[in-house]
Amino acid sequence: MPRDSVKIGLLGMGTVGGGVAALLARSDGLLRERTDIDFVIKRVLVRDPSRKRAVELPPSVFTTAAADVLDDPEIDVVVELIGGIEPARTYITAALQRGKYVVTANKDLMAQHGAELLELARRFNRNIFYEAAVGGGIPLLRPLKHCLVANRIKRIIGIINGTTNYILTRMSQDDMEFDAALAQAQALGFAEADPANDLDGLDAAYKLAILAGLAFHSRIDAGAIFVQGIRDVTRQDIHYARDLGYTVKLLALGERCGCDRVGDTLALRVHPTLVPLDHPLAAVHNEFNAVFLEGDAVGEVMLYGRGAGAAPTASAVLADLVDAARCLRSELENGVMESKFKPEALLPMSALSSRFYLRLLASDRPGVFGALATAFGDEQISLDMIIQKRSEAGVAEIVLVTHQVSEENFSRALKRVTALPAIQPRYSIFRVLS
């Protein structure tokens, strides 16, 4: 293997940059074990080197001169986390020209100048990885590029802006007015002080441009996407929508249209949309994101998760870093090497804890429920829910749901309970997801 260590130059150390450094520090041993590569942050471009950082790095690592990162021949991969168009665009251009791989989380830049930067990367036989630009840590771009490569994608439907989804969820679930929901989103950090790009749908349009580019193998002009934001959605509309069987979501929609009327073309748009309550996207609440895809072979696929936040975004950046490192090593293995996995003992079921649902039939005579309760109590099992239906023909049906209990204790209690003469031999046990 030609190299054991990959040297990283970080541009920017704000929320996401700090998250990347923290995750790299935390999962250092993990990544080394999984990839046989040491990832080393060699230089970090910051505005103020004296500022306290959450992750400790040697002071000599920090610089205020971009050239210290971009011109360092030892740096293999430049990770751009400044955001915005300039100077990010100039820095990425310089990095590619100097033969470095690039990882970026910059959706504005990739939506508006991705095509030119990826073409430049190709000319220099390098690549740009940008999984973190859309949907935080949700696997989106790699599945589109790799897993669905044999599909013609017919349609994308995405909830890809966490701020607006949080606001619409609050309006819907807590019957809040728009302004109050926005204020709450800002207080919780789900909306910025200036939320215009989110509320007006521009953030979603940029992300849609990136997703649609990969889904439809096309260069998208992000500025040509129809955009309607959520400022006009009222509590009243949400009520009506619910009465009609819908919930209101800001959707980013992309479709390949092959009709006679317009020929083969793309339709892209972002607008508030009534989503049928039984559609999987209707269940995407709060700050969560999800992208629903229809491929001609795979059918319907949905990818769901946290679309923002330092740790999820860092998860995507590190995955990109590993891919860049694999490219540097011309690695054939194309992923984690399962052959390195070690055998591991499984925990026996008896050592686990579960919540249990138990249904049984009991003769309707005095003392039965007491005996049952005693059996559970003796095994430290507390009950969360109890239902006893009116007995028929002297037989009562009892349904119990326990709190979290050890499998061992539960099975001992069950043995005692089912040995009671008043309890019938047929019963049902299921575990409850907690």
Binding residues among 172-231 for its own copies as defined by CB under 8 A: 213-214, 216-221, 224-226
Angle at 28 between CA 22 and CA 34, to 5 degrees: 135
55 vs 302, beta carbon nearer its own copies: 302
Q: Is the dihedral of CA 157, 161, 162, 165 positive or negative?
A: negative
Query: Site mask, its own copies, residues 313-352, x = CB under 8 A?
Result: -xxx-xx--xx--xx--x-xxxxxxxxxxxxxxxx-x-xx
Residues numbered 228 to 247 that lie near its own copies (CB under 8 A) are 232-234, 236-237, 240-241, 243-244, 246
136 vs 195, beta carbon nearer its own copies: 136
Using the rule CB under 8 A, is 1 a contact of its own copies?
no
Residues numbered 121 to 140 that lie near its own copies (CB under 8 A) are 121-122, 125, 127, 131, 136-139
Query: Site mask, its own copies, residues 365-404, x = CB under 8 A?
Result: --------------------x-x-----------x-x---
Cα 37 from Cα 29, distance rounded (Å): 10
> Is 249 a known active-site residue?
no
- Beta strand residue intervals within 46-146, DSSP E: 62-63, 77-80, 101-104, 128-129
Q: In angstroms, what is the minimal distance from the CB of 358 to its own copies?
A: 10
Which amino acid, 184? Q
Query: Site mask, its own copies, residues 14-33, x = CB under 8 A?
Result: ---------x---x--xx-x
62 vs 161, beta carbon nearer its own copies: 161
Q: In angstroms, what is the minimal distance from the CB of 302 to its own copies?
A: 4
Q: In angstroms, what is the minimal distance from the CB of 421 to its own copies?
A: 23
Using the rule CB under 8 A, is 415 a contact of its own copies?
no
Q: In angstroms, what is the minimal distance from the CB of 417 to its own copies?
A: 17
Name the active-site residue from 207, 249, 340, 389.
207
Cα 323 from Cα 358, distance rounded (Å): 48
Which one of 40, 55, 94, 303 is in contact with its own copies (CB under 8 A)? 303
184 vs 286, beta carbon nearer its own copies: 286
Cα 168 from Cα 285, distance rounded (Å): 9
Cα 389 from Cα 160, distance rounded (Å): 46
Q: What are phi and psi of 352, to 5 degrees?
A: -90, 165
Which one of 32, 53, 98, 279 is in contact with its own copies (CB under 8 A)? 279
Which of 218, 220, 238, 221 has its CA nearest to residue 230? 238
Number of Cβ within a 10 Å radius of residue 249: 29
Q: For residue 429, give the 3-state DSSP assignment.
A: strand
Which one of 10, 118, 156, 202 is in contact with its own copies (CB under 8 A)? 118
* Binding residues for its own copies, total number by CB under 8 A: 131
Locate all alpha helices (DSSP H) within 124-201, ordered by sequence: 141-142, 162-173, 178-187, 196-199
Q: Which helix (H) or strand (E) holds 28?
A: helix 28-35
Q: In angstroms, what is the minimal distance from the CB of 60 to its own copies?
A: 26
Using the rule CB under 8 A, is 155 a contact of its own copies?
no
Cβ–Cβ < 8 Å for 367, 357: no
Which token pair is 195? 């939320």
11 vs 318, beta carbon nearer its own copies: 318
Which amino acid, 76? D
Q: Which residues, 6 or more positions from 102, have their beta carbon under 8 angstroms from its beta carbon?
A: 77, 78, 79, 80, 92, 95, 96, 117, 121, 126, 127, 128, 129, 324
68 vs 327, beta carbon nearer its own copies: 327
66 vs 160, beta carbon nearer its own copies: 160
Using the rule CB under 8 A, is 306 a contact of its own copies?
yes
Q: How many CA atoms lie within 13 A of 361 on its CB side?
A: 9
Catalytic site positions: 207
